């Protein structure tokens, strides 16, 4: 009898270590950052992209191996000169409301209405530049809708008919380009190319896409939002009218708001309350050492989509206590920037998020490796960018860092700067790894360069609206930033540094080169030259590589790799190799094509799946 009781107790203990799987076909997750908008035509934030990816279909999509497939466009063709792209829209695709009731058919007019909305400057679309960078007549139309600054002459207004986005008929959509864009198809998977039902957009007006409920959007994607309660819950339900509903396997995505999601999700996962959890390094070590929990987690898939870099802010808007005017003197001193560039050990920094193999998620360019290639040669190994790719651990050089610091001290003192330079460094409080990495950065730089030279002030930013409150408003001196590519061309990695952007405001630099030219103006001219090369891919890539290398050489940014977004372990009932794959755009955010696993994928299963995926990808090129 005692033995039977012992066995029962043992079984109960083992069960308590294993998440109880829900019987319903629903994927339950936590989230800590609420979206501020559902308007996919204006947003430029990752969380909001992820919403649109699941509820709005695009002209084409990518399968799990990265092959382009028809979606709302059944077929397409390109003119011989590469300037005209014609898409045949799938008949029978539907718009539905938040109750899954059919409202209208999807037609070519929906893409025209969306483009017209994006290109109206009054709507402040953050992705309008992507459209007008390639569409004929789009930039002039956009300029004509813009309100001029005081003292500026208004741009002439142009008619919509001059813009190269047309519905030839209800099911034929045509784009006319400024120049041949070989990667144009990849651009069409981005949010600014998504359709919208014009009558609904007009009816809603300024209320379109408000993040107040599920009734401010119509849906044509794999899912529709069946429930939307800000800072409480968000539910995606399978769209029964979707053209490809047979390949949408998970019935619901149930998202619950919890501002402490990063810290509580692992315990909730163990209790069977959620199907995905954030696993920090300490928990991962404990679980991997316990045979009862080792199979509950797997490595995070390293997709390489997002690149991370520390950005200097050239337009400080932070409080006077952090000495913004003094910071301007420091940030516009090349030797100061280079002292920091060479003064922190990226390996030690990355160890915080990836203790097993930090080098695997690190790189020393802004563009990540294996993004695009020319005849098999990785872009980051081309031209002026190649030495930075090969730099490796040489990016941390104590002797160089001290040498640059000594020069900076002399120059800054002569310029009237106060030492030590205060460097406001802000992190998102919802990411423990981010906080830890910022502490490591502070310790490294102050120990090596001296507390009499640099004073890193580490502070937690707000848990809500972090980007708008910190990065976009310029309330930092040095910040860990990330960028995900929007389409398959190196040009996409220049977007964070464009004039008028909201990353590190490099156009406000006052530094000049040996020829007396403003360094940002030099960089901008390099980018313009690269963009103008459209018929020779090799020359185009080499020109972009030259521009990117210039930005790194002058230490406007400090590439690190994937930092807190990569490496480590996760707990999940999804197979990461089933979902859509593309090294740009929104494909990785889609749940379409994924199954809900009966049990979590463990590490062995993960590497088996990875090996199969890589073999299948390799077979495509044979």
pLDDT digits (tens, 9 = 90+) for 327-343: 999 999 999 999 999 99
**What pLDDT band is residue 28 in, cutting at 50, 70 and 90?**
very high
Instruction: Annotate 475-489 with DSSP letters as a single string.
Output: --SEEEEEE--SSSS
Q: Are 497 and 556 in contact (CB under 8 A)?
A: yes
Mean pLDDT value of segment 441-467: 93
Is 327 a member of any domain? yes
Collect all residues with Cβ–Cβ distance below 8 Å to 178 and sequence separation of at least 6: 134, 135, 136
* Cα 83 to Cα 29: distance, rounded to the nearest angstrom: 44
Q: Are 585 and 66 in contact (CB under 8 A)?
A: no
**What pLDDT band is residue 263 in, cutting at 50, 70 and 90?**
confident
Query: Whose CA is closest to 545, among 388, 395, 382, 387?
Result: 382
Beta-carbon count within 10 A of 299 CB: 19
Highest-scoring range by mean pLDDT, 285-289, 414-418, 556-560: 414-418
* pLDDT for residue 18 is more than 70: no
pLDDT at 304: 56
Q: In the chain, what percentage of residues exceed pLDDT 70?
A: 94
Q: Are 347 and 359 in contact (CB under 8 A)?
A: yes
* pLDDT for residue 392 is more than 80: no
* pLDDT for residue 602 is more than 60: yes
Mean pLDDT value of segment 24-49: 92
Is 29 a member of any domain? no
Give the torsion sign (CA, 607, 609, 611, 617): negative
Largest CA distance in the chain: 93
Average pLDDT, the chain: 90
Highest-scoring range by mean pLDDT, 356-360, 370-374, 391-395, 522-526: 522-526
pLDDT in tens, 83-99: 999 999 999 999 999 99
Give 203-207's long-range contacts (Cβ < 8 A, gap of 24+). none
pLDDT at 3: 36
Mean pLDDT value of segment 409-429: 96
pLDDT at 71: 98
Q: Are 277 and 31 in contact (CB under 8 A)?
A: no
* Cα 72 to Cα 89: distance, rounded to the nearest angstrom: 6
Give phi and psi for 378, each to the nearest 5.
-60, 135
Mean pLDDT value of segment 259-265: 88
pLDDT at 14: 39
pLDDT at 566: 47
Is 337 a member of any domain? yes
pLDDT in tens, 479-534: 999 888 888 899 999 999 999 888 999 999 999 999 999 999 999 999 999 998 98
pLDDT at 4: 36
**What pLDDT band is residue 224 in, cutting at 50, 70 and 90?**
very high
* pLDDT for residue 228 is more than 90: yes
Is 365 a member of any domain? yes
Report, in this order, helix, strand and coil percent for the chain, each rounded to 5.
40, 20, 40
* pLDDT for residue 433 is more than 50: yes
Instruction: Annotate 38-63 with DSSP letters as a single string.
Output: --TTT---HHHHHHHHHHS--SEEE-
The CATH number of the domain where 336 resides is what?
A: 3.10.105.10
Q: How many domains does the chain have?
A: 1
Is 244 a member of any domain? no
- How distant, in Å, are the alpha carbons of 125, 163, 212 from that of 146? 12, 16, 28
**What pLDDT band is residue 375 in, cutting at 50, 70 and 90?**
confident
Is 259 a member of any domain? no
Q: Are 454 and 278 in contact (CB under 8 A)?
A: no
pLDDT at 56: 98
Which residues span the domain enclosing 417?
Answer: 307-485+556-565
The bridge status of strand 68-70 relative to strand 298-299 is unpaired
Helix (H, G, I), strand (E, B) or coil at 290: coil
- How distant, in Å, are the alpha carbons of 19, 210, 341, 452 from that of 555? 47, 39, 7, 22
* Cα 583 to Cα 492: distance, rounded to the nearest angstrom: 12
Mean pLDDT value of segment 191-209: 97
Q: Are 379 and 542 in contact (CB under 8 A)?
A: no
Is 528 a member of any domain? no
* Cα 221 to Cα 228: distance, rounded to the nearest angstrom: 17
Is 311 a member of any domain? yes
pLDDT at 17: 45
Collect all residues with Cβ–Cβ distance below 8 Å to 29 and sequence separation of at least 6: 253, 254, 255, 256, 274, 275, 276
pLDDT at 567: 53
pLDDT at 393: 62
pLDDT at 163: 98
**What pLDDT band is residue 303 in, cutting at 50, 70 and 90?**
low
User: Considering just the CA atoms, what is the radius of gyration of the chain in Å?
Assistant: 25
Helix (H, G, I), strand (E, B) or coil at 343: helix
pLDDT at 6: 37
């Amino acid at each position: 009898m005692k033995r039977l009781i012992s066995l029962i107790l043992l079984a109960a203990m083992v069960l308590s270590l294993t998440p109880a799987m829900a019987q319903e076909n629903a994927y339950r997750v936590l989230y800590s950052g609420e979206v501020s908008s559902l308007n996919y035509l204006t947003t430029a934030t990752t969380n909001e992209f992820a919403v649109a990816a699941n509820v709005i279909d695009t002209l084409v999509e990518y399968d799990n191996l990265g092959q382009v497939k028809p979606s709302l466009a059944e077929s397409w063709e390109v003119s011989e000169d590469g300037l005209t792209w014609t898409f045949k829209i799938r008949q029978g695709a539907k718009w539905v409301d938040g109750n899954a009731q059919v409202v209208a058919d999807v037609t070519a007019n929906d893409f025209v209405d969306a483009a017209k909305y994006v290109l109206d400057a009054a709507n402040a679309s953050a992705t309008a530049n992507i459209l007008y960078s390639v569409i004929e007549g789009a930039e002039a139309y956009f300029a004509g809708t813009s309100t001029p600054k005081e003292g500026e002459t208004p741009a002439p207004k142009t008619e919509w008919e001059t813009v190269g986005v047309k519905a030839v008929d209800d099911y034929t959509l045509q784009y006319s380009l400024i120049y041949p864009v070989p990667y144009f198809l990849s651009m069409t998977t981005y949010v600014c190319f998504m359709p919208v039902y014009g009558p609904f957009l007009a009816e809603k007006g300024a209320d379109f896409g408000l993040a107040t409920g599920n009734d401010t959007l119509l849906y044509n994607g794999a899912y529709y939002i069946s429930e939307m309660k800000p800072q409480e819950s968000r539910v995606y339900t399978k769209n029964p009218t979707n053209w490809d509903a047979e390949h949408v396997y998970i019935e619901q995505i149930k998202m619950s708001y919890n501002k402490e999601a990063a810290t509580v999700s692992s315990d909730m996962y163990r209790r069977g309350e959620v199907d995905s959890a954030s696993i920090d390094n300490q928990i991962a070590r404990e679980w991997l050492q316990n045979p009862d929990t080792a199979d509950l987690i797997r490595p995070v898939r390293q997709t390489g989509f997002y690149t991370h870099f520390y950005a200097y802010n050239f337009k400080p808007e932070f409080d006077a206590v952090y000495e913004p005017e003094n910071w301007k003197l420091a940030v516009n001193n090349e030797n100061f920037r280079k002292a920091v560039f060479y003064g922190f050990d990226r390996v030690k920094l990355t160890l915080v998020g990836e203790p097993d193999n930090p080098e695997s998620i690190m790189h020393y360019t802004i563009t990540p490796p294996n993004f695009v290639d020319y005849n098999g040669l990785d872009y980051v190994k081309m031209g002026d960018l190649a030495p930075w790719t090969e730099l490796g651990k040489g990016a941390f050089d104590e002797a160089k860092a001290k040498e640059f610091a000594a020069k900076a001290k002399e120059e800054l003192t002569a310029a009237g700067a106060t030492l030590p330079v205060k460097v406001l460094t802000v992190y998102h409080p919802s990411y423990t790894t981010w906080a830890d990495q910022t502490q490591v950065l502070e310790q490294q730089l102050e120990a090596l360069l001296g507390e009499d030279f640099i004073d890193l002030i580490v502070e937690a930013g707000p848990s809500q609206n972090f980007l708008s409150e910190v990065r976009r408003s310029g309330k930092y001196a040095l910040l860990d930033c990330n960028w995900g590519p929007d389409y398959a061309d190196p040009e996409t990695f220049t977007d964070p540094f464009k004039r008028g952007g909201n990353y590190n405001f490099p156009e406000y630099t006052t530094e000049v080169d040996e020829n007396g030219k403003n360094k940002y103006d030099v960089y901008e001219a390099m980018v313009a030259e690269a963009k103008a090369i459209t018929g020779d891919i090799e020359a185009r890539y080499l020109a972009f590589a030259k521009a990117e290398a210039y930005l790194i050489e002058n230490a406007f940014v400090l590439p690190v790799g994937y930092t807190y977004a990569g490496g480590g372990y996760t707990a999940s009932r999804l197979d990461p190799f089933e979902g859509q794959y593309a090294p740009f755009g929104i494909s990785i955010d889609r749940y379409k094509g994924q199954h809900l696993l009966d049990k979590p994928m463990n590490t062995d299963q993960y590497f088996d799946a990875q090996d199969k995926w890589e073999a299948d990808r390799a077979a495509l090129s044979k």
